[in-house]
Amino acid sequence: FVESDKDATTRPLIIWFSGGPGCSSVVALLNAIGPFEFAQNGHLQLNPYSWHKTIKENYDAIKDFFKKHPKFLKNPLYLMGESYAGIFVPVLAVHILKNGQDNKFNLKGLALGNPFLHEVLNIHTSLIYAYEHALIDQHDWDNFVEDCCHGCEDGCDFRPGQLRGLCLTALQTEKSGLNLVGYKFLGPAEVSEGVINLCSYSQVTKSYKKEYDDMSATFKWLMSKKFSILLYYGDTDLVCNFLMGQRFAYKLNLKMSGREKQNWHVDGHAGFKTLYQTASANLTFLTVRGAGHMAAQWRAPQVFHAVSQFIQNKELS
């Protein structure tokens, strides 16, 4: 828990969830949104873009938090996260809106960074993204189309069941190029022994039961309430690529406000945004130029600005 350094009793409260599934939110606290960040020498330094400036178990944890910190109960509440949090954060939001009246939660919206929202769309668009960004050469692409689409590129729809053999191996990623700055800090025994496991993929995968592979119905329900949603995508991410998010938002069949692609920029880095509205809700889709899967880490000023504008209900420009 990181308390705001200004007007903590009135400012919006953000609850952050990292993805995985199985990754601790300590990852984001250390690398992206927390009050400190790693310097190149392995020491800690102040993070100028720290966000503290601005499901049953999870639901129970939130209730427990407010029991311990009741002074924050009236603050506007926002659920946020990244990656696979695109599945469980919206579900948690629905659970709060359906059951949270007794606890008087002041839930206003959710913001998700590079969220996984639709399994089929993600796989289909990942192949297109990889080809159009020169990660797949023409020979492999032609084989994709021949083996997975019967040679018909127009209207081809890659499906999970088709991704075997050639269709899968061309997207294998390199394992080199680790960011060693964090290891300089977390490596010493006196530090690592006091830190929880940051990711527990294998343990979680064994017990995790997939219930959602398409969040469309959940988002449509949320958009029928008085609610705000922000979807921001680093546009160099192949894990949960921006094309999936863009098509997911479009397929919700919401009323578009303004042009489909509107520019926004901060400190020389740009992207585009698309605004959708209902009678009582709004959804903003935006890209963050040059950011990867951890957009809040790699484009901190831009994402900090976008989230700050979002929780203040201001238009992003």
What are the E-state strand segments in 120-254? 228-234
Burial class (CB in 10 A: 0-12, 13-18, 19+), 113: buried
CA-to-CA separations, 61 to 57, 90, 92, 196, 288, in angstroms, rounded: 6, 16, 11, 18, 31
Catalytic positions, please? 83, 237, 293
3-state secondary structure of 303: helix
Are the C-beta atoms of residues 93 and 115 closer than 8 Å to each other? no
Buried/exposed code over 87-104 (b: 16+ C-beta within 10 A; e: otherwise): bbbbbbbbbbbeebeeee
Region of residue 39 (left: phi > 0; alpha: psi -120 to 50; beta: else): beta
Are the C-beta atoms of residues 305 and 266 closer than 8 Å to each other? yes
For residue 311, give both structure tokens. Answer: 């929780």
For residue 237, give both structure tokens. Answer: 């991410």
What one-letter code names the amino acid at 229? I
Angle (CA) 190-194-200 rounded to 5° is 125
Q: List, edge to edge, every strand of the sheet that includes 255-266.
A: 13-17, 77-82, 107-113, 228-234, 282-288, 269-277, 255-266
